[in-house]
Structure 1
Amino acid sequence: MQVGQTVVQAVSRVVDGADALTSQICRDGLAYWQGLRGDAPLPWREAIDPAAIRSLLPYTFLVDVVDRGRDFRYRLVGTDIVAHTPHDNTGLLLSEIDAQGTQSQLSALYAAVTADPSPRFQRIAYRTRLGLRSWYETVVCPMSAPDSTGTVTTLVGWAEHFHQPIGSADE
């Protein structure tokens, strides 16, 4: 989301099945995470194989949990996500990003996944300066480190953006 855009709706929920997701990218990301997890409570961050999710990489983000969920650092932000934000947030703490407009919703989402380690999805609808009604869907999944005793240390997620001209027949 760019500066000057207005959030008009935000929804965040636990994923109770892939059919709750609109985005095929988010569905594929969730299926990948579920495959990594197997029977374990949480998959390890090191289990991610970029070659296995090559088509999802532009829509993928990795977030380090900082200070047990008091903040979050973007480790990786896919190119499609970067194209829809004012800056490449890779390496930044969520608390350092002030031009995005959705920090409070993202902070709440990331904190919820960290506190109750289950996948959650979020949809945020907004209106742009360019006359588009836009929204994005994201799914965020918890991961741990081998030595973390099941504590959420990393979040992996996928996001897809959608745009529609305001005043179109589908409005």
Structure 2
Amino acid sequence: MRRLRRAAAGSTAAGDRQGRRRARGRGLTVELTGPQSATTQGGQPSIEFITDPGRIRDANVRQFLELWQAAHVDGRAPGKSFLDPLRLRFLLGSLSLLEVEHDPLRFRYRLVGTDIVQRLGHELTGKFMEQHPDAALRPFLIKGATMVHHAAMPIYGHAKARTLGQDWLLEVVAVPLLGPDGEVAFIGSGQSFPPGKFELSGRA
């Protein structure tokens, strides 16, 4: 078994600045929200680069990022084998795996957790991200995947959701998974859901 070591995360501010520079260098300019911000104006989802797991409220989503950081070997991010169901059984129903395709850049769902499928009411495995059934959420999903691919850094998405008469925080972390050539070949994500059926706050 290979010895795994935790990659040094560095400061959140430095990591986020580095991610912005790298993304911009690849033709993508990303504006990040402040670290204390939960949602954008009107309750819409917010997406930002993240290096500090301590900023994540949900314990399972936080552990997902911590394990990805610990799986680095000699500073190199793990491959798609990181999404091992035994390693990530605490978040199994809320995991997804995207495969990166090029010319044009697209993202295809290769694995979608049962909790995600049940809440969407659609099976996404084998479909492209632009086929996601939620038209309002789709642009944010594509933006987040593009950020991960271009910057080779994890992103943190969060939004307020309304259910059971109160507000909840929906959180998701997406991480780059490398191919043999060292490029981002897959994107893995883990997320938390409020209980029951919910709607994002601020939606019409």
Q: What code does the residue aligned with 1:158 have?
A: G
Residue in 1 that maps onto 2:177: 143
Q: What code does the residue aligned with 1:81 have?
A: I
Residue in 1 that maps onto 2:202: none
* TM-score, normalised relative to structure 2: 0.67
Q: Residues 104-162 of structure 1, C-alpha deviation per residue, up to 9 Å, x if partnerless?
A: 0000000000000111100133457x86655421000001112xx21101001101112
Residue 99 of structure 2 corresponds to residue 64 of structure 1: yes
* TM-score, normalised relative to structure 1: 0.79
Residue in 2 that maps onto 1:96: 131
Q: Is the 8 A contact 2:47 2:156 kept in 1?
A: yes
Residue in 2 that maps onto 1:4: none
Residue 61 of structure 2 corresponds to residue 26 of structure 1: yes
Percent identity of equivalent pairs: 26
The unaligned stretches of length 5 or more in structure 1 are: 1-6, 167-171
Shift of 1:40: 2.9
Residue in 2 that maps onto 1:3: none
What is the rounded CA distance, in whole Å, between the counterparts of 2:56 and 2:105 in structure 1?
27
What is the rounded CA distance, in whole Å, between the counterparts of 1:67 and 1:102 in structure 2?
22
168, 177, 184: which one aligns with 1:152: 184
Q: Is the 8 A contact 1:60 1:156 kept in 2?
A: yes
Q: CA RMSD in A?
A: 2.6
Q: Which has the higher contact order (CA 8 A, sep 6+)?
A: 1
The more displaced of 54-63 and 110-119 is 54-63
| Equivalent residue pairs, number | 157
